[in-house]
Amino acid sequence: MSLNLEQYVSEFSAQNINGEHLLQLDGSKLKALGMTSSQDRAIIKKKLKEMKTSMEKARKAQEKMEKQREKLRKKEQEQLQRKSKRTDKSSSDATEGTNEQ
C-alpha cells in the first residue's frame, strides 16, 4: 500500500503471500499473481531488492557482533585462567615456604 499498489492486496492476501513469500517472488511469479503492469512489477522488484540488501547488511552486522562477543569471551576466559594459575602458584609457593621452615 505504501507503494500505491493497493489494487494487488486482495490477490496477495488470497494467495497467502506474506513477507517471507514476497521475498521469494520474481517477475514471472508476480505476473502470475495478476500483476500485469511491468511498471508495477519493476517497483516491487526494486523494493524487494532493497529489502534483501538491507536484510543482508543486518545479518552481516549481527554476525560481526557475535564474533566480537565470542572474541571478548575468550579473552576474558584466558585472563581468568592466567589469574587462576598465578593464584595457584603463589599459594603453592607459600605452602613450600612453610614446609621448609
CA 58/CA 55 separation, integer angstroms: 5
Residue 67 lies in a domain: yes
For position 29, which CATH number holds?
A: 1.10.150
Residue 25 lies in a domain: yes
Which is nearest to 34 in space by CA: 15, 62, 19? 15
Residue 2 lies in a domain: no
Three cell numbers written together for 28: 514471472
**Residues 33 and 65 sit within 8 Å (Cβ to Cβ):** no
Residue 56 lies in a domain: yes
Q: How many domains does the chain have?
A: 1
**Residues 25 and 48 sit within 8 Å (Cβ to Cβ):** yes
What is the full per-residue pLDDT of the chain (101 aa) written as tens digits?
Answer: 788 888 988 888 899 988 888 888 888 999 998 899 999 999 999 999 999 999 999 999 999 999 999 999 999 999 998 888 887 777 666 666 555 55
Give pTM, 2 decimals: 0.61
Range of the structural domain that residue 24 is part of: 7-81
